[in-house]
Amino acid sequence: MDADACEIARLPEELLSAALARTSTRDACRAAAVSPAFRAAADSDAVWACFLPRALPPLADGELADALPRKKDLFLRLSDRPVLLPDRRVSMWLDRESGAKCYMLSARDLTIIWGDTPQYWTWIPLADSRFSEGAQLRDVCWFEIRGKIQSKMLSEDTTYAAYIVFKLEERSIGLDYPAQEASVSVGGTSLTRKVCFHGYDDDGEAGGVPENYRPIMFPPQQRVRRRNGRPVPHGENVGQPQKRADGWMELELGEFFNEGGEDGEVSFSLMEIKGGHWKSGLIVQGIEVRRKASG
Amino acid sequence: MDSTADPKGKRPLYQEDGLAYARAAAAAASATAADEAEAKPKPKPSSSSEEAKPEPEAEEMPPLVLVAEDGVEVRISRPAARMSHMLRLLMEDSCADGPIPAPNVHSDILDLVVQYCEKHGPYYDPEASERARNPFPPFPVELTPTVSSIKPVTYVDPDPHGLKDWDKDFISLDNSTLFEVILVKRILNLLDLSSTPQDLLDLGTTMVADMMRGKKPEEIREIFEIENDYTPEQEAELRKENAWAFED
């Protein structure tokens, strides 16, 4: 046996592909830079077919118009930007690290209580979204948004988290206190946590009620939204919003593990119905369901 | 040393397998299968009596003789040979009595593969192993992706016969032997493109995958002693094309 020879080069390309298919998308992309022989294996359809999901949902017309000759091209396209499903109310993309299917349920796909009543919620065009419109909260006391997705649309054996994607308007009131309740239900199990559309700074004290909080239905008052000086007084375990790269904000509703192979559905809800006060000044793009990296 | 030492005179087969071989050779002399089932004083050493798969006809016959590229003969017992689809077919067609050529395989490597088959053979159930029937290679385009294909293999399987530990020792070969073994699997299946024993192929490719996971290209080149025949421009372009993979 020639121990000096480049042994791995003697592996047929199919077997090198089999080995690469067991690594990750990141490893397979890096392997392409090792040598031309590696690149042939690393870029092969055999490897990327393994990273793509077993079944992709049907897409809206014209969504994948560009030529995508290789499986790797298809993977990179789907992990780069979302594609719309036929109803144009849900978009999908792949998590680049794992190939897991991720979705955004647009506001039109959600169930928004009082969403059909223009006095309470209106629908506005969105310039910076794949969806043509979003829901704008004018005034509401009963704040309830629900969404759901079929388990079989999600990738098996994956931990997901759901986020509401939103923007707060300047004139927003009532959404800082009390905290909203978010819940995620899979099968018979449901997990609820407190979240808040308003973030707060770390120098804040926990607990306490804002001075001008009135739990009875007065006409909405213009109020300067709190800035850095006055933190929102919530307890420790209230989920905080995060800024996204696309200019929107997101608030995690909860996470769940999708085992796969079940016919059930996962449902999400976000509510504030106990405070009894008016809330306004929110724009909702939708609920995003994406893979949550473990650890 | 037992009398069934490997004809090369170097490394004999495992002692237990030697016993199995001796029994099989003795059994070939006797005519009835029933006698053999009773005459065996102890069960096959690598399986417990309640799990011995009843294969009287296979155990009667003498082992198959595979001829490596260096002309050396390597014997594989019939139950172990069942793990290769090609050999199974030959046995069914009764074409397996003479020497079977295994070209392009050195006898040392053939030995290792035969050792693997001897160890796993008694527990090998072709019906149970669905994946063994999938053609490999060539890959069908609709490969079944499993999450485990993009995660380190850390599945927990019940392992009643201690095969996992044996496998771990077996597979801690140096690079060149590992690749030879993988290549041999390929060759043993040349006739039929079906993937038995898939386990050995899986084992080998998983090992290679573990060696590559999380490494930078320079590190991979070092581990496998690969020459970088990219020009600097080509390499720079590839890194740019796959830029996200290099962000740490």
Instruction: State how far residue B54 is from chain A, nearest Cα, in angstroms.
Output: 34
% of chain B beyond a pLDDT of 70 = 41
In contact, B21 and B75? CB cutoff 8 Å: yes
Give pTM, 2 decimals: 0.67
Radius of gyration of chain A (CA): 23
Q: Tell whether the model's pLDDT for residue A84 goes beyond 90.
A: yes
Tell me the three state secondary structure of residue A105.
strand
pLDDT value at residue B31: 35
| Cα B80 from chain centroid (whole Å) | 10
Q: Do the Cβ atoms of B175 and A24 come within 8 Å?
A: no
pLDDT value at residue A91: 96
pLDDT tier, A127 (very low <50, low <70, confident <90, very high otherwise): very high
Residue in B205, B214, B220 closest to A18 by CB: B205
pLDDT value at residue A242: 93
Residue in this structure with the two tokens 């690598």, named with its chain if needed: B46
% of chain B beyond a pLDDT of 90 = 0
Q: Do the Cβ atoms of B217 and A54 come within 8 Å?
A: no
Residue in A3, A8, A26 closest to B245 by CB: A26
Higher pLDDT, B13 or A173: A173
The pLDDT tens digits for A242-258 are 999 999 999 999 999 99
Rounded Cα–Cα distance for residues B168 and B154 (Å): 13
Calculate mean pLDDT across residues A215-220: 49
Q: Do the Cβ atoms of B139 and A46 come within 8 Å?
A: yes
Residue A99's identity, in one-letter code, is G
Rounded Cα–Cα distance for residues B126 and B192 (Å): 15
Q: Do the Cβ atoms of B226 and A38 come within 8 Å?
A: yes
Residue B156's identity, in one-letter code, is V
Residue in B145, B182, B225 closest to A15 by CB: B182
| Signed CA dihedral, B37, B42, B45, B50: sign only | positive
The dihedrals phi and psi of B8, each to the nearest 5 degrees, come to -65, -20
Query: In the beta sheet, which residues pair with residue A287?
Result: A105, A164
Q: Could you count the other beta carbons within 10 Å of the beta carbon of residue B196?
A: 26
Q: Do the Cβ atoms of B209 and A51 come within 8 Å?
A: no
Calculate mean pLDDT across residues A205-210: 48
Residue in B175, B213, B229 closest to A7 by CB: B175
Q: Tell whether the model's pLDDT for residue B81 goes beyond 90.
A: no
Calculate mean pLDDT across residues A56-76: 88
Q: Could you count the other beta carbons within 10 Å of the beta carbon of residue A186?
A: 19
Rounded Cα–Cα distance for residues A175 and A277 (Å): 10
Q: Do the Cβ atoms of B180 and A21 come within 8 Å?
A: no
DSSP string, chain B: --TT--TTSSSPPPHHHHHHHHHHHHHHHS--HHHHHHH-SS--TTS-GGG----HHHHHSPPEEEE-TTS-EEEE-HHHHTTSHHHHHHHHTT--SSEEE-TT--HHHHHHHHHHHHHHGGG--TTT-GGGGSB-SSPPSS----GGGGS--------TT-HHHHHHHHH---HHHHHHHHHHHHHHTTTT-B-SSHHHHHHHHHHHHHHHTT--HHHHHHHHT----S-HHHHHHHHHHTHHHH--
β-bridge pairing B99-101 and B64-67: parallel
Q: Do the Cβ atoms of B143 and A49 come within 8 Å?
A: yes
Instruction: State how far residue B60 is from chain A, nearest Cα, in angstroms.
Output: 36
Residues of B in contact with A34 (CB under 8 A): 217, 220-221, 226, 228
pLDDT tier, A124 (very low <50, low <70, confident <90, very high otherwise): very high
User: Among all residues of chain B, which has the CA nearest to that of A37?
Assistant: B229
User: Among all residues of chain A, which has the CA nearest to that of B136?
Assistant: A14
Calculate mean pLDDT across residues B39-48: 40
Residues of A in contact with B213 (CB under 8 A): 23-24, 27
The DSSP code for A32 is: T
Q: Do the Cβ atoms of B230 and A36 come within 8 Å?
A: yes
pLDDT value at residue B69: 78
Residue B58's identity, in one-letter code, is A
Instruction: State how far residue B170 is from chain A, nearest Cα, in angstroms.
Output: 18
The pLDDT tens digits for A132-149 are 999 999 999 999 999 999
pLDDT value at residue B122: 74
Average pLDDT over chain A, rounded to whole?
A: 85
Calculate mean pLDDT across residues A182-203: 84
Q: Could you count the other beta carbons within 10 Å of the beta carbon of residue A193?
A: 17
Calculate mean pLDDT across residues A159-184: 92
Residues of A in contact with B224 (CB under 8 A): 6-8
pLDDT tier, A219 (very low <50, low <70, confident <90, very high otherwise): very low
First to last CA, chain A: 44
Rounded Cα–Cα distance for residues A271 and A254 (Å): 13
Residues of B in contact with A23 (CB under 8 A): 150, 209, 212-213
Q: Do the Cβ atoms of A35 and B221 come within 8 Å?
A: yes
In contact, A128 and A165? CB cutoff 8 Å: no
Residue in this structure with the two tokens 């993309």, named with its chain if needed: A93
The pLDDT tens digits for B95-118 are 777 788 776 677 777 787 787 778
Range list of H helices, chain A: 13-21, 25-31, 36-42, 45-51, 71-80
Residue in A29, A36, A157 closest to B229 by CB: A36
The dihedrals phi and psi of A140, each to the nearest 5 degrees, come to -155, 145
User: Among all residues of chain A, which has the CA nearest to that of B174?
Assistant: A3
Lowest mean pLDDT among A112-126, B75-89, B225-239: B75-89
Q: Do the Cβ atoms of A51 and B145 come within 8 Å?
A: yes
The pLDDT tens digits for B179-212 are 666 666 665 554 333 334 566 677 777 778 888 8
Q: Do the Cβ atoms of B139 and A14 come within 8 Å?
A: yes
CA angle, residues B84, B90, B92, in degrees to nearest 5: 100
Residue in A10, A22, A50 closest to B183 by CB: A10
pLDDT tier, B60 (very low <50, low <70, confident <90, very high otherwise): low
Q: What strand order describes the sheet that includes A189-195?
A: A111-112, A143-150, A265-272, A180-186, A189-195
Residue B172's identity, in one-letter code, is S
Residue in this structure with the two tokens 């090198």, named with its chain if needed: A16
* CA-to-CA dists, residue B134 to A70, B53, B193, B235, angstroms: 23, 24, 9, 36
In contact, A44 and B236? CB cutoff 8 Å: no
β-bridge pairing A90-94 and B99-101: unpaired
Residue in this structure with the two tokens 């080149």, named with its chain if needed: B221
Calculate mean pLDDT across residues B62-75: 83
Tell me the three state secondary structure of residue A294.
coil
pLDDT value at residue A90: 96
